[in-house]
Chain A
């Protein structure tokens, strides 16, 4: 049905507004995405939020709304931070903490991925492993600190054990889900190509489970720092958590904030590492990447 066929005499007020064949249509230009994007570079946009927040904080501190025994000003914190760096105490604390996280992360990754492989790849493994892991998973791991101190003493072992425990479960869940989420059509294609059982695992199942595994790693890293904070505030004599406990005893909010910033910075660094890994390992993925 085309309006141009309607006799002009019968056209109502609406239809008469529609231009005839001769009158030009009004055309909208479709703007290409490249020119629609703002000119502000991405990194600048991303840093704007935090910078504004810090400025606001400084203003509140300077005007006396925030007193220093509640929260030290950013300027004061920067001063204390540089002092701590200068006398080497921050570096040594960070070194100790990083070592603990690295060890716990390594162990947790091995245990979590190993268990997930056993229960993901084999049905008998699922029957034996999955139920106990699901049970243990719901126990708040922080609650195990007293037990771990009894078992492992007050040295490095209980701290690493706590981190390991925290890291294991998110990795287990995500790797397991990743393995079980692999497209069965691809498995079948692999079979039809004559892949052995191990070949299927190596070329089809594990690459297919990788996106899930990396999601698990992200969660695990977050929990690793969390576990570190808990572990280092109990019976520690070194590390960032210890620095914080000490600062609390002397009511030094500036030192506490410096330590918190260090934690945040380390978390950001960890996230950057996982992001880079994802960019490198998942470039094959035909998924939505945002506009």
Chain B
């Protein structure tokens, strides 16, 4: 089974967060939060908009240091944001290499771009990329750093439905090949159940609910157990699926 190939989900931690608090103007968006992610584990973080999940991701990325509490993250970490945030003045391959230590050659970029199926656009300006292509370039830029922790902030949010399915599949494959820990912030329950080993629901500044997903991979969204997990999580998020089914 594919999951067994990569799975060095050892007991070793890739992320350890304890007693984390982040306040905006005396309002605690994250309040005494605890989170552990093991090496090689794929964790999805669900939550209503404004629940602090993106703030948590920014903290883990080291972009928000206005915090209290303990946060331990690997040195090699990478982020893919909701918008691709490619530098418009750099060609795609230069974007991929941006910020890498040393003087990496173009081959490094080409390899990463090939991995996301974008090798043929290495010489393009970002303005000429489609939404899906730009997002894949952003993913290549994250992967080229060989991260131990990959942080994904709703990376498929702005994609159309078809492109999203392809991109989700790509992320699943890349994770299995790379074996890095992934934290995926999303509001799409189906996406979370499809990809994650464990789904966390964030509410009121803490992890309010934790749901291990032990379905075999690759997962089938028509599987009744899939639907059941999806319904449970939706309920947790305050969406009544019974009414939807009726």
Interface residues of A (CB under 8 A from B): 185-186, 188-195, 199, 203-204, 207-208, 210, 283-286
Contact of A185 among B61, B83, B89 (CB under 8 A): B83
Is the Cβ of A185 less than 8 Å from the Cβ of B85?
Answer: yes
Neighbour of B63 across the interface among A192, A204, A283, CB < 8 A: A192
Query: Is the Cβ of B98 less than 8 Å from the Cβ of A286?
Result: no
B125, A284: Cβ atoms closer than 8 Å: yes
Contact A193 B88 (CB under 8 A): no
Chain B contact residues: helix, strand, loop or mixed: loop
CB-CB < 8 A to B145: which residues of A? 193-194
Q: Does B62 contact A (CB under 8 A)?
A: yes
B127 touches A286 (CB 8 A): yes
B182 at the interface (CB under 8 A from A): no
Q: Does B87 contact A (CB under 8 A)?
A: yes
B residues in contact with A285, CB < 8 Å: 88, 127
- With beta carbons under 8 angstroms apart, the residue of A185, A188, A195, A208 that contacts B98 is A195
B196 at the interface (CB under 8 A from A): no
* Residues on A with beta carbons closer than 8 Å to the beta carbon of B98: 190, 193, 195, 203
Select one of A186, A194, A283 contacting B87, CB under 8 A: A186
B137 interface hit (Cβ, 8 Å): no
Docked complex Cα distance between A285 and B145 (Å): 27
A194-B99, A283-B125, A284-B126 are known contacts; what are 20 more A-B pairs with Cβ within 8 Å?
A185-B83, A186-B87, A188-B85, A189-B85, A189-B87, A192-B62, A192-B63, A192-B78, A193-B78, A193-B99, A195-B98, A195-B99, A203-B98, A203-B99, A207-B89, A208-B89, A210-B89, A284-B125, A285-B88, A286-B88
Within 56-85 of B, Cβ neighbours of A (below 8 Å) are at 61-63, 78-79, 81, 83, 85
Q: Which residue of B lies closest to A189 (CB)?
A: B85
Q: Are B79 and A192 in contact (CB under 8 A)?
A: yes
Q: B63–A284 contact, CB under 8 A?
A: no
- A233 CB to closest chain B CB, in angstroms? 42
Which residues of B, 84-143, contact A by the 8 Å Cβ criterion? 85, 87-90, 98-101, 125-127, 141
Residue of B nearest to A196 (CB): B99
Return A204 CB to nearest CB of chain B, in Å. 6
